Structure 1
Amino acid sequence: MKKKILFVNISLVNGGAEKSLVNLLNEMPEDQYEIDLLLFRKEGMFLPQVPHYVNIIEAPDALKNLYRPVKDFNKNTITKVIGTAISKTLTSNPYLMREFRWRNFYRRKITRLSKHYDVAVGCVVGECTYFVNDLVSADKKLCWVHTDYVGAKCDRRADEKYYQNMDSIVTVSDKCAEVLKTVFPEFQNKILWLPNITSSEVLRKRSKEEILERIDEGKKLIVSVGRLIPLKGFDMAIDAAKIMKQDGCQFQWFILGNGELFDKLNAQIEALELKDWVKLLGPKENPYAYIAKSDVVVQSSKYEGKSVVLDEAKILGIPIVSTNYDTVVDQIIPEKEGLIVNMDAEDIAHGIEKMFNNQMLYKTIKNYLNAHEYGNQADVEKYIKLIGKQGGKSVKKLIITIDTEGDDLWSWKQGNAITTNNTLFLDRFQRLCNKYNFFPVWLTNYEMIQDDRYVEFVKKYALEGKAEIGMHLHAWNNPPMYQLEVAQEGAPYLIEYPDDVMEAKIKFLTDLIFERTGIKPVSHRAGRWATNEKYFELLSKYGYVVDCSVTPHVDWKTSLGQTEGSCGSDYSSAKDKPYSIDTSNGSSVLEVPVTILRSHKLFLKTSSAKNLARSIWHAMKGTELWIRPNGDNLEEMKYVLDQTYVSDRDYAMFMIHSSELMPGGSPTFKDERSIEKLYKDLEALFAYASVKYEGIRLRDLSNRKESSANKQTL
């Protein structure tokens, strides 16, 4: 049976949220969903683009009546007039006014929908969400916030009670999600962001259509698209056109869209004698043909959530000039995809003139845009994952772990100082993880927790719920110091020390992490992977509830310790699924093994004869595949994700060392070029993973129940 989905929106007039909704509907698989669309007003230029398999249901009569203009008098008009008047008397805040009117007047008149849905979605802030909350029966309820909540001057007092009942609050960019989490910290675990859906294939096809307007020969064409409302800043754009005209710039400026300021902006154009320069063309069903024929797309907004127009311009390879509203940095790389200017007419004018006059800059931006793919129809899978597939597999978890330690410890020698400059390179990785709603677990050792820069970084993200701080103990430099009898050249394992020294080292680092961050660590990974019964007993004693030291299929016995006969742990026969380790003191620790796959699959490496021979040899003898980047294993890591997804394991674990995120911080990533290649692979890996996996912290796994069959006593 298909899943029953309801989308609720005001109308399908020209707007980014409406366009994104229609794009999403066109990409959703017809064979999996029975989709209903309810519109308060069945109107708008995007109505013809709704696919045939979407049922535009009839809205309740009272709902249609209450959202008609007052001039269309009907049996609910009196309720509308009185409700609006009283609400405006009580508050001048438009969001509080509409919520008060809805709660006290509108919802009492509107009939509840009789059909039950698997998922119901309120597509914009305000009444659509209120309708889904109050008048729809559904197993799962979602709401979309297509804007910067603070920039749009929304008010938490209007939405808090409704968001409380939503299963997910979805917004359109990382910046918008951060704003929402600041306004609604109590809901941060159900706030996520998914990009507006933009199909590059459809855009490019439709961009080739002709337009009716004539483009004057010898003039540059500027195009802007948006509703004619104050927050879009078109008054500044028209003032900028006046400056450019005075500077002798030859151009035409087409503004596509409709709204309350149409007459006022037209009057401004006439007053500034710009009728031959700036034209308000009204809404266009196919704006892509205009964008594609332009030289520059200009966005003069005072705020945006995530601009659909900018995505469309990038897909069509048109350089952009945009004002510096808060979220613009999520969409434009300055000097590569466009220019970001101050929010005033003079700067807008000078930005456009710079684009026209600096041909090298213009060509650089054009080449960059044309070399990149900005369409994201593949992101539909993220929406499908959120909504849930009919008969599909449940979403699995991805755990991101980082052994957070000093710089290039592979080359470190006893007696040398340990530096921690890699802390300056961690924020980029953190932001990449959060972009895909993954939550890095920073397993932190002694030298890192002493670095004030690291403490400031990790504490911020951990307190925001975007990361976790755990413990990672290297015995050789973790106080208290103790001299072992050296018989071998290996670095010492914690399990080589006397029991009381082991305990003292664990206690010291645990206390230090809490003292420095105010956060009690509950997750752990052993330095050099080695564990034993005493180790787990001590972890449990000091409040650790989850460990991730076990590496299935891997035997570390050839990795020597420092004392006579000491070596690493043998995990070659270890379980590859979580299990509880009961200790002699009656407590337990949840072991969450690293994801490692034993495989004979051939991954051809043809960059050299040596690499080709190595790949064939690994396939013949079998090798262990980790989700651990080495600069040349993206396909292997994706393969492990795929195999884990179809297995009975409910998570996959990624790992990396913090120093590998810094140029020269490891033998693997020696320079900036290799780091950029690493991040290219990480971006591809996380985007791939986000379709089938969702992020989780180790500490959250500790709350999941394990069956008695998965217990192991040491």
Structure 2
Amino acid sequence: MIKILFVINNMEQGGIQHSLLELIKKITIYNRFDISLLCLNRMGEYYSHIPKSIKLIELSKYQMISEMDLKHCKEKGKIHFFFRLFTSLITKMGFKNIASKLYTAVLGKTKDTYDIAISYSQPTDDRDFFCLTNEIVINCCKAKKKGSFVHCDFKLYGGNTIRNRKIYEKMDFICAVSSSVKKQFIDCIPEARNKTSIVYNCCDADSIVLQANEDAIIYNRPTLVSVCRLSEEKGLLRCMPIIKHLVDKGFEFEWHIVGGGSLYTALEKAIEFYHLNRVVVLEDRQSNPYRFMKNASYVFVPSFHEAAPLVFDEAIILGIPVLTTNTLSAEEMIKKHNYGLVCDNTDEAILEMLIDAFSSKIEFATCNNVKMYRDEQSFIEAINKVVGEL
């Protein structure tokens, strides 16, 4: 049996967490893998969906402080509060290395030794004490081989720092979630070229199709659906004046935004400001976003930057064309296969793309083999390569 430990910051509703959940579900059927999971903050919509066969481990009762704000740390007790306060302050002062070393020293080492330990999240900015899964794999996990996933446009996502690049250089292997993500990562860290493989996000096509048919939403007008975290990089706010312009031009449509996040209130205010209450609908977090996608005209992804968003795969599985800005994997995953339209990453180009989408009937391709789409094989191949080096 090959003992694998995955490390992730939380199991909140998000693309990274969902792809990990689907991956471990699929590889548990292989008798050759003994899977453990270290989730720093053992909460989130997906936590209860982790298969019973997965061993859930805990390093320390203080492991969650990197994933909690001061208010929630205070509720845990004075030690949690002051530990979080101190590490946050020295991180903001430019001493994240000291903060992370203190944090990982308090967490200690794993009791078991693993064949492979994998960080499933990428690090954040040097002044942000959050998501230290890479540091934990390097400093806390007893393992023969250590690696990390890259789910971001490493050049643009905000964490492309000297410190973070040095952490990746310590890893034995890297898994990039698309060819474009791999290329961008290697451009930033050329030393990682020979140890970086492509491991696609994992999807359960049967489950997605099944959930999409459960009480699917029926729309009476052409409909855009966006499924994402409500954060700046998703480009939602910049689309409000674009949507207003289309409405003023007489276009009849609606836009449903499924997801929660820090921009929820700002989006509410923008909808009010542009008088879009009858056009733009905030659906908040949904346990089943696929019922909103099922009958949509398009899945709309107006992000400033993305890696290989899981919603691309989900739209392809459901046969829904994608309208997206030209982020890192858009050409590779969407345009190359004619699964939708890709535009330049400007407000003007987004407007033109939406006008084209609503004004003409465009023939798009559909996936020929949905059941085999984005299965676990690329991960198995990467693991076999690592195991061969043990």
Same fold (TM over 0.5): yes
SS in 2 for 1:293: coil
Offset of 1:346 from its aligned partner? 3.9
Letter in 2 for 1:191: T
Aligned to 2:267: 265
Alpha carbons of 1:280 and 1:174: their partners in 2 closer, same or farther (altered >3 Å)? same
1:81 corresponds in structure 2 to: 85
Does residue 1:12 correspond to 2:14, yes or no? no
**Deviation at residue 286 of structure 1 after TM alignment:** 1.6
Correspondence list, 1:429-440, <5 A: none
Shift of 1:215: 4.7
Superimposed CA distance per residue, residues 587-636 of structure 1 (whole angstroms, 9 cap, x where no aligned partner) = xxxxxxxxxxxxxxxxxxxxxxxxxxxxxxxxxxxxxxxxxxxxxxxxxx
Query: Equivalents in 2 of 1:184, 1:335: separation in Å?
Result: 29
Q: Deviations over 1:450-471 (max 9, x none)?
A: xxxxxxxxxxxxxxxxxxxxxx
Q: 1:209 aligns with which of 196, 214, 229?
A: 214
**After superposition, what is the alpha-carbon deviation per residue over 1:277-328, rounded to whole angstroms, capped at 9, x for unaligned?**
1111112222122111211110011111111101111111111111122331
Match of 2:139 in 1: 134
Q: Is 1:187 paired with 2:187?
A: no
Shift in Å, 1:188: 1.1
Distance in 2, matches of 1:47 and 1:41, equals: 10
Q: Secondary structure at the match of 1:234?
A: coil
The alpha carbon displacement at 1:379 in A equals: 4.1
For structure 2, which runs of at least 5 residues remain unmatched after alignment?
A: 124-131
CA shift digits 1:101-139 (9 cap, x unpaired) = 313x32232222211111111001121111010001011
Work out whether residues 32 and 389 of structure 1, in 8 Å CA contact, stay in contact via their aligned partners in 2. no
Letter in 2 for 1:102: S
- 1:124 partner SS: coil
Is 1:247 matched with 2:268? no
In the TM superposition, residue 377 of structure 1 has moved relative to its aligned partner by: 5.4
Q: Does structure 1 retain, via aligned residues, the 8 Å contact 2:59–2:109?
A: no
Residue pair 2:177, 2:308 contacting (<8 A) in 1 also: yes
2:167 is equivalent to residue 170 of structure 1: no
Please say which structure displays the higher CA radius of gyration. Answer: 1
Residues in 1 aligned to 2:211 and 2:96: alpha-carbon distance in whole angstroms:
38
Q: 1:231–1:303: 8 Å Cα contact kept in structure 2? A: yes
* Cα deviations by residue, 1:454-512 (Å, 9 ceiling, x for unpaired): xxxxxxxxxxxxxxxxxxxxxxxxxxxxxxxxxxxxxxxxxxxxxxxxxxxxxxxxxxx
Whole-angstrom CA distance in 2 between matches of 1:159 and 1:216: 45
Aligned twin of 1:198: 203
Q: What are the residue-to-residue correspondences of 1:130-529 with 2, within 5 Å?
A: 130-211=135-216, 215=218, 217=220, 219-333=221-335, 336-359=338-361, 361=362, 364-365=363-364, 368-369=365-366, 372-373=368-369, 376=372, 379-388=375-384
- The residue number in structure 1 matching 2:113 is 116
Q: Aligned partner of 2:368: which letter?
A: H
Asked if 1 retains the 8 angstrom alpha-carbon contact of 2:151 and 2:176, the reply is: yes
Q: Which amino acid aligns with 1:16?
A: G
Distance 1:83 1:292 in 2: 45
1:625-704 to structure 2, matched below 5 A, reads none
Amino acid at match of 2:335: I
Letter in 2 for 1:380: E
Give me the whole-angstrom Cα distance separating, in 2, the residues matched to 1:315 and 1:378. 10
C-alpha separation in 2, matches of 1:79 and 1:340: 46
Q: Distance in 2 between matches of 1:323 and 1:385?
A: 31
**Counterpart-to-counterpart distance in 1, 2:181 and 2:265:** 32
User: SS where residue 18 of structure 1 aligns?
Assistant: helix
Q: Counterpart of 1:83 in 2: which secondary structure?
A: helix
Cα shift at 1:334: 6.4
Cα distance in 1 between the residues matched to 2:177 and 2:97: 23
Q: In 1, distance between residues paired with 2:111 and 2:252?
A: 59
**What is the one-letter code of the residue matched to 2:265?**
D
- Give aligned pairs, total: 376
Over 3 Å counting, the alpha-carbon distance change for 1:173 and 1:281 in structure 2 is same
99 and 209 in structure 1: CA distance in 2 versus 1, 3 angstrom threshold: farther
- Which of 150-159 and 230-239 deviates more? 150-159
* 1:202-245 CA-partner distances (Å, limit 9, x unpaired): 2112111115xx6553x112100111111110112322221221
Instruction: Give the stretch that moved more between structures: 271-280 or 341-350.
Output: 341-350
Judged with a 3 Å threshold, the aligned counterparts in structure 2 of structure 1 residues 66 and 347 are, in CA distance, closer, same or farther, namely closer
Kept after mapping to 1: 8 A contact 2:199/2:382: no
SS of 1:76's equivalent in the other structure is: helix
In the TM superposition, what is the alpha-carbon distance from 1:56 to its structure 2 partner? 2.4
CA distance in 2, matches of 1:331, 1:37: 30
Which residue of structure 1 lines up, in the alignment, with residue 128 of structure 2? Answer: none
TM-score normalised by L of structure 1: 0.50
* 3-state DSSP of counterpart to 2:70: coil
Match of 1:548 in 2: none
CA–CA distance in structure 1, aligned partners of residues 300 and 2 of structure 2: 41
Q: Distance in 1 between matches of 2:271 and 2:297?
A: 21
State which drifts further: 189-198 or 130-139: 189-198
Match of 2:129 in 1: none
CA distance in 2, matches of 1:216, 1:372: 26
Contact 1:239 1:345 in 2 (8 A): no
Would you say the 8 A contact 1:36–1:56 is kept in 2?
A: yes
What is the alpha-carbon distance in structure 2 between the residues aligned to residue 202 and residue 216 of structure 1? 23
Contact 1:220 1:294 in 2 (8 A): yes
Distance between the aligned counterparts of 2:294 and 2:306, measured in 1?
22
Instruction: Spell out the pairing of 1:532-547 with structure 2 (5 A cutoff).
Output: none
Amino acid at match of 1:296: Y
Whether the 8 Å contact between 1:8 and 1:38 is mirrored in structure 2 is yes
Distance in 1 between residues matched to 2:266 and 2:165, nearest whole Å: 36
Q: TM-score, normalization: structure 2?
A: 0.90
Kindly state the Cα deviation for residue 44 of structure 1 after the two structures are TM-superposed: 1.7
- Judging changes above 3 Å, is the alpha-carbon distance between structure 1 residues 242 and 346 closer, same or farther for their aligned structure 2 residues? farther
Q: Distance in 1 between matches of 2:4 and 2:373?
A: 20
Within 5 A, what are the aligned runs for 1:533-572?
none
Provide the residue aligned with 1:576 in structure 2: none
* SS of the residue 1:7 aligns to: strand
Amino acid at match of 1:386: A
Q: 2:127 corresponds to which residue? A: none
Q: Check conservation: 2:202, 2:376, Cα contact below 8 A.
A: yes
Q: State yes or no: 1:64 paired with 2:64.
A: yes
AA of the residue aligned to 2:235: G
Relative contact order higher in (CA < 8 Å, ≥ 6 apart) = 2
The CA distance in 1 between the partners of 2:15 and 2:40, in whole Å, is: 18
Instruction: Give the structure 2 partner of residue 547 of structure 1.
Output: none
- Partner residue of 1:102 out of 86, 90, 100: 100
Aligned to 2:36: 36
Following the alignment from structure 1 to structure 2, what is the Cα–Cα distance between the partners of residues 328 and 99? 35
Cα displacement (A) at 1:378: 6.4
Verify the 8 A CA contact 1:3 1:389 in the aligned structure 2: no
CA shift in 2, pair 1:389/1:205, >3 Å: farther
- Shift in Å, 1:332: 1.2
What SS class does the counterpart of residue 247 from structure 2 fall into?
helix
Q: For the Cα contact (< 8 Å) 1:215–1:252, is it kept in 2?
A: no
Rounded to whole Å, the distance in 1 between the matches of 2:205 and 2:219 is 28
